[in-house]
Structure 1
């Protein structure tokens, strides 16, 4: 289900949605996979940057690849931490967020399985701008940063592929800023729901179920607004037969109507 064309989060060589669907069917989130290393190798083969590596570079990555498991609500990285590793999520969800000086938690984005992270911190040698928290039990594969950087320095094709990925992500962030600055809350909410459908949904009977459990407070954090405003907008979408909300679970009843809100 391709609701967005401007969500280049995944560094995938083929069709993104097709690959995600195959992963979800082959490796359900709740399924315990004994050989995560083999799963990581299989998923790496789908990444554009890895496809462009030489055989020696591929072997170097695979030889030094590490698998790490995190329980739910574990702080993987904090905003004041430096980083020297590239990670990609094998399964689970990572929540990026930050905490204000007053202690309020702000969610920025949910990162799905399949995303390559930490490229900018290892290149800039800067601290993270926000926390990375496992929203549910999550498994990641880790590539040492020095190996990744060395490949970028030696292989211009890989360098360009990663540069393209970063540019696409920057382009998406500009879209975020545009919608947050110029569009009414209903359109912002519709866009956020479409993102969640793109990466975190399953078919539930005749509807679409967003797999992440989200409170109105969570949605308010994502859209930098109040819970009261989110409650009002969800009520409107419910009245129009577009969504149904039950116990922190959101169901999409009319995907096309939701998509039309942002067109």
Structure 2
């Protein structure tokens, strides 16, 4: 007898149970999505560009706003893919990266929750330059590119605010490039750790824990260095009592001393960096 041709009562009960579980999951996801939609609308109200939209433009955004859920490690966008929307990171972390011709995965930057992203590829009509991967379970709110571009075309106040935002980010990019090209690894590592503290950390009783699980190879990618050199610099920071390193986890024990490692460089190079402003 082919047992798969005559399912037992137990099997039928299991099918019914699975269907009920699936329907319950869909209902729960719908509720969660509704909650995230409401959260996205509240978050939008804090963005200056949204505040400067007309009431009709705000309603247009609200009508077309979509919530998207991604599991950890999911490719949200891929390099050379056309951009279809402006995105707001509601929850989670996105890592931007690219894959070399040899197949090596290089991390470029971690993007925090609350960030408005995809502006440049939307405005220029160009493809993504990096892969965008959910580093952990991530939720995005997306605005269709054509809606966003139509608002920019018709609302000069919104256009100016977005222009300012792009200029500020360009300035930060120039600053990153300057540090990468001119500063020793110790300074660049301290600067990267402070960035991670500012956007991806929480305070414990005696120290600050960086939430992102990072390997030394990840830090080597971020700083265009080697795992061996990163290990050496982290060991020196640990010996000085500035950081504590566990498996894929970094704790900042003395943030003031960590900032001091780059404060003198910041002061000496202020004139050079401000010259790169757009």
2:80 is matched with which residue? 80
2:63 is matched with which residue? 63
Q: What are the ranges of 5 or more consecutive residues in structure 1 without an aligned counterpart?
A: 1-31
Structure 1 residues 155, 34: closer, same or farther in 2, change over 3 A? closer
Counterpart CA distance in 2 for 1:191 and 1:122 is 30
Shift of 1:122: 1.3
2:207 is matched with which residue? 207
Q: TM-score, normalised by structure 1?
A: 0.87
Contact 2:75/2:132 (8 A) holds in 1: yes
Counterpart CA distance in 1 for 2:236 and 2:121 is 41
2:271 is matched with which residue? none
1:156 is matched with which residue? 156
Structure exhibiting the larger radius of gyration computed from Cα positions: 2
Counterpart CA distance in 1 for 2:223 and 2:261 is 16
1:178 is matched with which residue? 178
* Count of equivalent residues: 232
Shift of 1:142: 0.4
| Alpha-carbon displacement from aligned partner over 1:139-160 (angstroms, at most 9, x marks no partner) | 0000010010000001111000
Q: Does 1:48 align with 2:71?
A: no
1:224 is matched with which residue? 224
Counterpart CA distance in 2 for 1:154 and 1:237 is 52
SS at match of 1:39: helix
Matches within 5 A, 1:89-100: 89-100=89-100
| Alpha-carbon displacement from aligned partner over 1:223-258 (angstroms, at most 9, x marks no partner) | 011000000000000001100001111000000000
1:37 is matched with which residue? 37
Shift of 1:82: 0.6
Counterpart CA distance in 1 for 2:194 and 2:159 is 31
Aligned-pair RMSD on alpha carbons?
0.9
SS at match of 1:98: strand
| Alpha-carbon displacement from aligned partner over 1:188-222 (angstroms, at most 9, x marks no partner) | 00000000000000011210000000000000000
1:6 is matched with which residue? none
SS at match of 2:212: coil
Counterpart CA distance in 1 for 2:33 and 2:110 is 23
If each structure's helix is expressed as a fraction of its own residues, which one has the higher value?
Answer: 2
Q: Does 1:261 align with 2:256?
A: no
Counterpart CA distance in 1 for 2:220 and 2:205 is 28
Runs of 4+ in 1 over 4 A off after TM superposition: none
SS at match of 2:95: strand
Contact 2:33/2:67 (8 A) holds in 1: no
Contact 2:84/2:145 (8 A) holds in 1: yes
Counterpart CA distance in 1 for 2:251 and 2:144 is 40
1:167 is matched with which residue? 167
Q: Which has the higher contact order (CA 8 A, sep 6+)?
A: 1
Q: TM-score, normalised by structure 2?
A: 0.82
| Alpha-carbon displacement from aligned partner over 1:59-91 (angstroms, at most 9, x marks no partner) | 110011000000000000000201121000001
